[in-house]
A and B are shown apart, each in its own frame.
Chain A
Amino acid sequence: MTKTTQGEHLLEVRDLRTRFNTERGSLYAVDGVSFTVDSGRVLCIVGESGSGKSVTVRSLLRLIDPPGEIIGGTAFFHGQDLLSMSKKQIAAVRGDKIAMVFQNPLTSLNPMMTVGDQIAESLLLHRGVSKAEATREAVSLLRQVGIAAPESRVGDYPAQFSGGMRQRILIAAALACRPEILIADEPTTALDVSIQAQILGLLKKLQSEINNALIMITHDLGVVASIADDVMIMYAGRIVERAPVREIFARPRHPYTQGLIYTVRALLDPDRPLHPIPGTPAIPLGEKKGCPFAPRCGYVQEVCRTKTPELAPLNQDHVVACHVLPQGSAAHA
C-alpha cells in the first residue's frame, strides 16, 4: 500500500511557515515544514524544546496568537486549506474534525466547570445535540477512557480527580466528536512514569478503535518506539528527517537523529560511553545561512555552512535533509 500519491492523504501540509515577531527580530519557529498525515496511523513529531513541534500543530488549528503569525504554506484537509479558511470555518473544524490533547492535565481543564460539561462542550458546539444527550455521551466517553463509576463522576469538578485521571478526561473531551485527527502535545510529559504507559496505551487503543490519525508530539524516544508508525524529527523549525519508525531506529541518517538515538542507547547500556550532542539548540532567529545543525555536527563540511540542505528522499518512505548523509558512525556507535 503506497501512500505517496498526492490527494490521497487525510492532511497534506506544505511549506508551513510560522514566525514570531520578537524585540530581537523575527523568530522562524516553523520554517518551511511539509508533511502528510494518514488515517489509521500514528505520526510522532520529535524534537527538543524550541524545535517548533508545538507551533507546527498549533498552526494547523490556527491557535497562534500575536506576536506569532503564520506567514506561509498550505494545509489541505478534505480539499480545504486550513490556513486560509475563515475564522468561523476553522472554529467548526476545531474539536470536531481535528481535536487536541494538551500537555498539562492539571491546568488544561476549567476548574469551575464539571468534567461532564467540559466533555459535552464540543458535542453541544458541533453536533447540536441536547444537553441530556451530550451528558449521556459524556458518561459513555468517561467509561471508554477508564474512569470508574462514570455516572456518579460526570458531575464532579476537575479538582476531584488525579492528574492521570484528568488526562483521561481531556482525552475523552478530545474524542467526543470522533475527530479524524487527534493531536496530542506531549500528553504524558507531566505524568508519573507508571501513568504515562497507561495513557499511551489508552491513546493507542482508542486510535485503533476509531481508526483516525494520531499526531503525537514528544521528545521521548521511548514513547516513539512504543506508539509511532511514522516519525518526523524537527530541529530549529525544520524537518531534518522523516521515516517509518523501524527505519528511523535502524537506519537514522541525519547526524541529529543519530545523536538522539545513540544518546538514548548509551543511557540504556552502561557499558556504552555517553556521547551527548555538543552545543545548545539553535535559535532560528533572523536570516540564516546553511544547515542549522552545522555548528553542532561532527560531520560538518564547507557546503553545510553555506547552503541549507533540502529534504530529499533516500527511498520511498525515508527523507532526510543533510548534505553528508553519514551512515551511523564509529564515534557514536
Chain B
Amino acid sequence: MEYRKPSEDAVRYWRTVRLITFFTVGAISLAVCLLMNLDVGATWKYVVLTLIVVINLYNLTALILFPKIEYMQWGYLVEEDRVVIRHGLFWVDKDIIPVIRIQNITVSQGPVMKQYGLFQIEMALASGKFTIEGLKQDVADEIGENLKNRLYSRLAAREDEK
C-alpha cells in the first residue's frame, strides 16, 4: 500500500504556522512576566516562570523539529471505496473513511496556505470531520472530483441494489 505524500511546501506551511504560534505565545509570556513584577520573589512566581519557560522551549522545538517529522508521517490513500489518512507526530493515527459515509467535501485555503499555494480537503461525515492537508491545487481538485464521482457511483450502485 503506497501512500501519497502532501506537497513538500507543507513543511514550510506548518513551520510558518508554528512560527506564528511561537511569537504569539512568546508575546503573551513576556506580558505575563512583566505583569508579575519578577523582582519580587514568591514561590508561585517561580512555578509560573518555569511553566512559561517549558511552554516556550516546547514551542521552539516544535518549530524546528516537528514539521519535518510530521511530513515523514503524513500520507493518504484514496481507494475505490475508502480514504485512508495517516498522520501524527510521535503517535501515528490511521483513519479509515468509507467513501459512502462522506456527506460533503470542501476544498479550502487559509491565508497562510495561500502564501505557499496549498489547499486542504475536508471530508465531513455525520459523526466527524477528516482533513487532508498540504495539497497543491491540481491535486486537491483531482481528489475532490475523484471522491465526488466515487460517492455518486457508489450511491447509484446502492440504489440499483435496492
The answer on A and B forming one complex is no
List B residues at the A interface (Cβ < 8 Å). none
Residues of A within 8 A of B (CB): none
